[in-house]
Amino acid sequence: MNNFWIENFRLVIITAALLFTVGLYCILVTRNMIRVLIGMELLTKAVTLLLVLAGAVTGRMAMAQALIITLIVMEVVAITVAAGVVVGAFRHTGNVSTESLDEAKG
Amino acid sequence: MGALLVLLPLLGVVLLNLPLGKLAEKLALPLGGVLCLAQAAVILAAPASFWDQALFLPGGVSVAELFHASFPVDSLARVMFLSIATVGFCSGLVAKYTMADEQTQFRFANLLILALAGLNGIILVRDLLGLYVFLEITAVASFVLIALERGKAAFDGAFKYLVLSAVATAMIVAGLALLFIVAGSTSFDAVAEALKTSGSSQLALAAVAFFLCGLAIKAGLVPFHGWLPTAYASAPSAVSVLLAGIVTKTSGVYTLIRLVDAVFGYGPAVRQVLLVGGLVSIVVGALGALGQKDMKRMLAFSSISQMGYVVLGLGAGPGLGLAGAIFHLFNHSIFKTLLFVNSAAVEQQSGTRDMDKLGGISAKMPVTGTTSVLAMLSTAGIPPLSGFWSKLLIVAGVWQAGHPAFSAAAVIASVLTLAYFLSMQRRVFFGKVADSCAGLKEASAWGLVPALLLAAITVGLGVTAPWLFQTFLLDVGSIL
Amino acid sequence: MTIATYILFAAIVVCALWTVQASIVRAALGLAVVSVLLSVLMFQMGAPLAGVFELSVCAGLITVVFVSTISMTARLDAEASKALRAVRAKRFRPAIVAVACIGALLWISSYARDVSPVIGETAETVREVLWGPRRLDLVGQIIMIFVGVFGVVVLFKEKREKEIGR
């Protein structure tokens, strides 16, 4: 099992890198705040995959899983607060567009 | 013993949220203040050996056993703890002064204490994932604090900050995962060991690159500084004080220093990136500050510039450069906090932050005016204030490390800093009293106490610096 | 196992690409599907406990959070959302190009896990690790949950006047 993942190492790295790219692209390009949150979630998934790979390749799956569980808990709270910010912004502007929040910049 | 600094705030928050009714609301801010003061007092009074003692919980088990980890507290950690405590205390005072109702103060106090736990945790950990955990705690507490009074601009600032923070976090954990593949562990020592042998492997280089990018975003270094001015300016005043004074510093710059020193090592590639990045931040920050009308935005750009100095000093390596960088980090937390405290006072009393509308404030608010002048002179690096000494050390350190061009550029940028601050001073504080400022009164005691305290520290440090140099600074520069 | 695993990798990326350009409700569901696929992958790679967490928390709880957020914020009428769909598809088309390019680049470049296997396998279980060396993270999680609670109270609660008005 361990050796399978060492040989197919690049496949997982590529998948994680592509997930990261899609997430980052989503954050940069979208004008909908909720879609930005979805991009953030994709970034988290990419990183989770990297951690699983790390565990599989080094054989230290117990440690890696503990790290992943901690990561998931932290990210849930973070995304919930982020959703709260989006809802709060919506209550001010009536929409979830990222542009309507931009005040006059100095 | 260091674990206390995280456990006590947690206990504090638990206590505050027990069903005590109105009593809890009244106790919240004072409890925050007491925690900060206690932290500062312990740092100043206790000898270094105090921190090595084991802390015993009821039941006879020591914290080190309980957590399977030790929390060593070195000189850098003590400097950071002192900054955190000072800034936290001043932030609490400003909150008392600027926040209207008790419910908001209660929520602020709880979040402040939680952020305190997060910040202390960042300093204490010796493990990459523990670092991530406390970085996230601090970050999320900051988002909520920025949006605390629920204004429209505040949500903009909070959103921008949280998006970039999420990207930074993703990069940091990606680096962590890659380092785990290389080292099989996430503790600082294990990773440092592994990097010594496998340091030039592609995985390791990619990991370090990810980390540097993520930390640069958190520290607000150019070119990842887009979120900083908006976040600082739109947050409530007490929160701006906290953000500018300590949160960005600890999450970004301190973490950078600690990781470069303890984990990545001062390789030539890392140093080059730090030197160049630092210089770019200095210049862009200084130029950005010149064009601002909003007082807080100007201060935000100035912070970006000053953090560039710290990174520049770090790039010079251990010795004078590093000592100067750490000293500047502490000094900046003092004088930038002072500037934000005063801008809070001006905003509270006059109702605006627009520098075009303000004028001649010093006549009406003498204490605020004088302390601001002191802070600005310190930022610009005028002797004998503290800022002068730390900048001198950084410039000397960079010169000594063999980069005279960088040193010269840093000095020139310092002159730029002086230019913008002098112009702001003249406009806002001296000169003719503007019409809108005719009825201004001096800030209340809550606003003045932090200002006086911070100004005293700036002046005191500046005057005693040459003596401190021998005893304390060289020690800090070579400890790590 | 191997063919299915390769298909799984491809499916995750394709699904992610679909998710980012779908309408917002479908995007939330697409995210859930990506989570499920990732969870299956984690089971395959030997991380069952983490896979369960990913499934229940990310595919479950976070989807609920997203759908709640979407329902608390405005929705467009049918015409406006049709127009938006076309704009969105155009905006996200480069993503496919980017993914293809980066995928090809990484595939061609020759890198390997060029570190000597410095450690052997350890026989601990996740339970032992979580409650042992990683206990400080648990304290961190407790603090984080407090922060989250205050966040929700500050951000989601309507102002008092509105509640009285109801």
Q: What is the pLDDT along chain B (480 residues), one digit of tens a residue?
A: 777 788 888 888 888 888 777 777 778 888 888 888 888 888 887 776 777 676 666 666 676 667 777 778 888 888 899 899 999 998 988 888 888 788 888 889 999 999 999 999 999 888 899 999 999 999 999 999 999 888 888 888 899 999 999 999 999 999 999 999 888 888 888 888 888 877 777 788 888 999 999 999 998 888 888 888 888 888 888 888 888 888 888 888 999 999 988 888 888 888 888 889 899 999 898 888 887 888 888 889 989 999 999 999 888 888 788 888 888 999 899 889 988 888 888 888 777 777 777 777 777 777 888 888 888 888 888 877 888 888 888 888 888 888 888 888 888 888 877 877 777 777 777 777 766 666 667 767 777 888 888 888 888 877 777 766 666 655 555 544
Domain ranges of chain A: 2-93
Query: ω into residue B384 within 30 of 0, thus cis?
Result: yes
Q: How far is C137 from chain B (nearest CA, A)?
A: 6
Q: Which of C5, C20, C111 has its CB closest to that of A38?
A: C20
- Determine the angle formed by the axes of helices C63-72 and C24-44, rounding to 10 degrees: 170
What would the two tokens of residue A61 be? 């799956």
Q: How far is C135 from chain B (nearest CA, A)?
A: 6
Dist. CA C51–CA B408, nearest whole Å: 55
Nearest to B89 by CA among B298, B342, B337, B328: B337
**Residues of A with Cβ-Cβ distance to C151 under 8 angstroms:** 77, 80-81, 84
Q: Residue C79's pLDDT is what?
A: 59
Q: Above 90 in pLDDT, residue A29?
A: no
Dist. CA B439–CA A6, nearest whole Å: 73
Question: What are the φ and ψ backbone dihedral angles of B350, each rounded to 5 degrees?
Answer: -105, -15
Q: Above 60 in pLDDT, residue A45?
A: yes
Q: Which of A1, A19, A32 has its CB closest to that of C12?
A: A19
Give the CA angle between residues C82, C84, C88 to the nearest 5°: 125
**Residues of B with Cβ-Cβ distance to C148 under 8 angstroms:** 140
Residue of C nearest to A46 (CA): C38
Q: What is the mean pLDDT of residues C93-107?
A: 78
What would the two tokens of residue B10 be? 């947690």
CB pairs below 8 Å between A and C: how many? 215
Max Cα distance, chain A (Å): 57
Give C13-70 pLDDT, tens digit per residue.
999 998 988 888 889 999 999 999 999 999 988 889 999 999 999 999 999 999 999 8
Q: Residue B270's pLDDT is what?
A: 86
Q: Which of C116, C141, C154 has its CB closest to that of B144?
A: C154
What is the fold, at CATH topology level, of the domain defined by A2-93? Helix Hairpins (1.10.287)
**Residues of C with Cβ-Cβ distance to B69 under 8 angstroms:** 133, 136
Residue of A nearest to C94 (CA): A25
Mean pLDDT of chain C: 80
Question: What are the φ and ψ backbone dihedral angles of B430, each rounded to 5 degrees?
Answer: -105, -165
Dist. CA B231–CA B143, nearest whole Å: 9
Q: Residue C113's pLDDT is what?
A: 56
ipTM score assigned to the predicted complex:
0.93
Tell me if B203 and C144 make a contact (CB, 8 A cut-off): no
Nearest to C17 by CA among C98, C123, C74, C71: C98
| pTM recorded for the entire structure | 0.91
Q: Residue B479's pLDDT is what?
A: 47
* Long-range contacts, stretch C120-129, CB < 8 angstroms, 24+ apart: C120/A59, C121/A2, C121/A59, C121/A60, C122/A59, C122/A60, C122/A62, C122/A63, C124/A62, C124/A63, C125/A62, C126/A61, C126/A62, C126/A65, C126/A66, C126/A69, C126/C49, C126/C50, C128/A62, C129/A62, C129/A63, C129/A65, C129/A66
Q: Residue C116's pLDDT is what?
A: 53
Q: Above 80 in pLDDT, residue A104?
A: no
Among the ranges given (A25-34, A71-80, B13-22), the one the predictor scored with the smallest mean pLDDT: B13-22
Q: Residue A106's pLDDT is what?
A: 32
Question: What are the φ and ψ backbone dihedral angles of B187, each rounded to 5 degrees?
Answer: -75, 150
Q: How far is B454 from chain A (nearest CA, A)?
A: 28
**H-type alpha helices, B46-200:** 63-67, 75-98, 102-124, 128-146, 152-183, 188-198
Q: Does A93 lie at the interface with C, CB-CB under 8 angstroms?
A: no
Q: Residue C115's pLDDT is what?
A: 56
